[in-house]
Structure 1
Amino acid sequence: MTTMKSVRTGEQNKIDVVDAERPSPGPKDALVRIRACGICGTDTHFLHLGGVPFGPGGSMVSLPLGHEPAGEVVEVGAEVRGLKAGDRVVVNPQGAPSGIIGCGGALGGMSEYLLIEDAVVGRSVTVFPDTVPFDVAALNEPMAVARHCVNRSEAKPADKVVVFGAGPIGLGATIWLKLRGVEHVVVADVIPERLRTALAVGADAVIDSAAEDVTARLTELHGPAANALGQPRAGTDIYIDAAGVPAVFNTTVESAKWGAKLVMVAVQKKSDAIDLGGMLRSELTLVASQGYPTEIFEVTPELVEHQELFARLISHRVPFSEVGRAYELAMTPGAAEKVVVTFEP
């Protein structure tokens, strides 16, 4: 049996690097040698849980990790069209028949090799040029999440937007908003280094929400307006929650003018601290954004075109031989912006 190294959830807050059987592609499959894979907040969530509650009685079950892979095709089945050995590809984690790759499915992208089941170009994978480094290509999946959020916002060039949370999704949304031609984009966060990155990728202004009055600052930046009761509010049109904490929701409610929109892309935990009733004062529209129904490969050409801009989102590139350190960085609040694990060619 030919084996490969693969990362799975271990004990709570720990990973296991295991020897697994290297997949053999069937006639409709392709085999990809992984060259880079990003670590996402979803990965750390599974690690905090110690797996997924799929076992008997809801017991925790270990699962393979990694849903942000990029790699090189090494073998294709006889019925696969449009792919050949040597092609560099990014993967649609939601395109696997056996379940979402790295998110509860049977396969994980944080492995030396990944089987692409029923490989179809444009559905399960797409090819990118060799001018793009693998670590940047591994941003394709999170940038599709960010792009869907911006699409859901329906932001127009004249809109004034604030993005809460300068992690990869918030920064990705900032890039997409500016490429979309949005006039003024503000990013709010509590970590100065992340705010500096926000300015580097095109934000027009930033707010340190730990030290500044967000409503007052937004009013200064976006002008004065009022809510449905005539109370003074900021002139911000769209609020994007890429942080997922009650303070963001409540700050939006306190700041929102009549007819403003809140797009929620971060996962909000259940909380009694959220002021849902306050939405009435502004007739605030709440829009949820989940995944990337169409955006997974729509983003790839622009990721290629603007690769140097997107590369700024990567704070740490860690070799697979130190994958444990990579997950420790990702699980330590404030220690890293975006961690990408790289594999030797």
Structure 2
Amino acid sequence: MATMKSVQTGGVGKIDVVNVERPVPGPKDVLVKVRACGICGTDITFLHMGGMPARAHAGGELIPVALGHEPAGEIVEVGAEVADLTVGDRVVVNPQDAPTGIIGCGGKFGGMSEYLLIENAVLGKSVAVFPDIVPFDVAALNEPMAVARHCVNRSEAGPADKVVVFGAGPIGLGATIWLKLRGVEHVVVADVIPSRLEKALAVGADAVIDSAKENVTERLTELHGQAANALGQPRAGTDIYIDAAGAPAVFQAAVDSAKWKAKLVMVAVQKKGSDIDLGGMLRSELTLVASQGYPTEIFEVTPEIVEHHERFAKLISHRVPFAEAGHAFELTLTPGAAEKVVVTFDE
């Protein structure tokens, strides 16, 4: 029996690198040799939990989770019935298409493994092919950039809109790139970490706000002009607020700043509950739009990542070899230590 190394949860705040059976593709499957896999906030959520509850155990027993849902790699085996895919194809993956559960999110397989089985492999549905001009580590951004793209699609931002993105992590910065590629006139990024604000400017933000030191409403008014809410009270001229941070203070800052008929798009998982200022929302007729996942965007983004791969590469702060996977997860677990960590595998 051939084996491979795979990363799974190993208790609260810990990972285990375990030897597991290397998958064997059936006639409708392909086997991918993983070359890079990003670490996501969802992975960290599983680590904080120490696994996930086993449905079969009423007592809430935790079972390990095979981690990694942002893989990119190379096809090394192809089932006899698979069309349009060949050995040597470089691919990114739709983790939600796996019939045995979402890859890296409680499903049978995780992308933070030396090999990944793609069940019922269909080009354009479960995988997309990308050219060799794009490094594997940049290609591994495909899944989080689909999340960011869905958020921007949900915002319906147009060229004349003025937008602020709260949170300069991978999703916020990805949204910034998509907004500018969409032709949006003015995009501001707000965060509390100076290095992240520098990165925001590097990927195309028109201005940044250090919300730990600056008054957000005042700065947005300087940048986007003055408008008013439904009662005529002065507000910033910002049209769209994107919450890619998930902190209660961000939600309130948007409500405090919102003009009449502004829009707030919530893409971040809220880190903890907070009282929502419904009166403030009412006074601005603020529209709240939720954005979850990527219903159609998972491969919509791939050609543009290829075209602008050097720009997207700036999102990666750390590239860590698979042999040092423990260090990679420690970086991601430490607030402020890293923006985007991608684990790379020997070729």
TM-score by length of 2: 0.98
Distance in 2 between residues matched to 1:83 and 1:214, nearest whole Å? 50
Deviations for 1:179-218, whole angstroms, at most 9, x for unmatched residues?
0000000000000000000000000000000000000000
Aligned partner of 1:177 among 179, 197, 201: 179
Superposed displacement of residue 61, structure 1: 1.3
The amino acid of 1:26's aligned partner reads G
Match of 1:53 in 2: 53
Match of 1:194 in 2: 196
Aligned partner of 2:301 among 274, 299, 302: 299
Match of 1:38 in 2: 38
Residue 168 of structure 2 corresponds to residue 163 of structure 1: no
Distance in 2 between residues matched to 1:277 and 1:128, nearest whole Å? 48
2:254–2:264 Cα contact (<8 Å) kept: yes
Distance in 1 between residues matched to 2:285 and 2:100, nearest whole Å? 42
Match of 2:129 in 1: 127
Superposed displacement of residue 269, structure 1: 3.9
Q: Does the residue aligned with 1:11 lie in a helix, a strand or coil?
A: coil
2:267–2:291 Cα contact (<8 Å) kept: yes
Superposed displacement of residue 7, structure 1: 0.3
2:150–2:297 Cα contact (<8 Å) kept: yes
Match of 2:92 in 1: 90
The amino acid of 1:38's aligned partner reads G
Match of 1:239 in 2: 241
Match of 1:13 in 2: 13
Deviations for 1:91-140, whole angstroms, at most 9, x for unmatched residues?
00001001110011111000000000000000000100011100000000
Cα 1:137/1:172, change in 2 over 3 Å? same
Superposed displacement of residue 268, structure 1: 1.2
2:248–2:272 Cα contact (<8 Å) kept: no
Aligned partner of 1:254 among 253, 256, 263: 256
The amino acid of 1:106's aligned partner reads K
Superposed displacement of residue 281, structure 1: 1.0
Q: Does the residue aligned with 2:72 lie in a helix, a strand or coil?
A: strand
Q: Does the residue aligned with 1:328 lie in a helix, a strand or coil?
A: helix
Q: How does 1:261-340 map to 2 (within 5 A)?
A: 261-340=263-342
2:157–2:184 Cα contact (<8 Å) kept: yes
Distance in 2 between residues matched to 1:61 and 1:233, nearest whole Å? 49
Percentage of identical aligned residues: 80
Distance in 1 between residues matched to 2:308 and 2:215, nearest whole Å? 34
Q: Does the residue aligned with 2:52 lie in a helix, a strand or coil?
A: coil
Distance in 1 between residues matched to 2:334 and 2:278, nearest whole Å? 31
Q: Indicate the larger mover: 118-127 or 262-271.
A: 262-271
The amino acid of 1:182's aligned partner reads V
Match of 2:227 in 1: 225
Q: Does the residue aligned with 1:78 lie in a helix, a strand or coil?
A: coil
The amino acid of 1:22's aligned partner reads R
- Unpaired stretches in structure 2, ≥5 consecutive residues: none
Aligned residues: CA RMSD: 0.7
Distance in 1 between residues matched to 2:183 and 2:300, nearest whole Å? 18
Distance in 2 between residues matched to 1:141 and 1:290, nearest whole Å? 13
Superposed displacement of residue 53, structure 1: 1.7
Deviations for 1:33-63, whole angstroms, at most 9, x for unmatched residues?
0000000000001100101122412221111
Deviations for 1:281-315, whole angstroms, at most 9, x for unmatched residues?
10100000000011000100000000000000000
Distance in 2 between residues matched to 1:274 and 1:339, nearest whole Å? 33
The amino acid of 2:35's aligned partner reads R
Distance in 1 between residues matched to 2:237 and 2:106, nearest whole Å? 42
Residue 110 of structure 2 corresponds to residue 108 of structure 1: yes
Distance in 2 between residues matched to 1:203 and 1:174, nearest whole Å? 6
Distance in 2 between residues matched to 1:270 and 1:306, nearest whole Å? 35
The amino acid of 1:324's aligned partner reads G
Distance in 1 between residues matched to 2:101 and 2:132, nearest whole Å? 29
Match of 1:209 in 2: 211
Q: Does the residue aligned with 1:42 lie in a helix, a strand or coil?
A: helix
Deviations for 1:323-345, whole angstroms, at most 9, x for unmatched residues?
00000000100000000000001
Superposed displacement of residue 274, structure 1: 3.0
Deviations for 1:7-56, whole angstroms, at most 9, x for unmatched residues?
00011000010000000000000000000000000000110010112241
Superposed displacement of residue 271, structure 1: 1.8
Superposed displacement of residue 229, structure 1: 1.2
- Unpaired stretches in structure 1, ≥5 consecutive residues: none
Aligned partner of 1:147 among 146, 149, 153: 149
Match of 2:76 in 1: 74
Distance in 2 between residues matched to 1:33 and 1:18, nearest whole Å? 17
Distance in 1 between residues matched to 2:283 and 2:98, nearest whole Å? 44
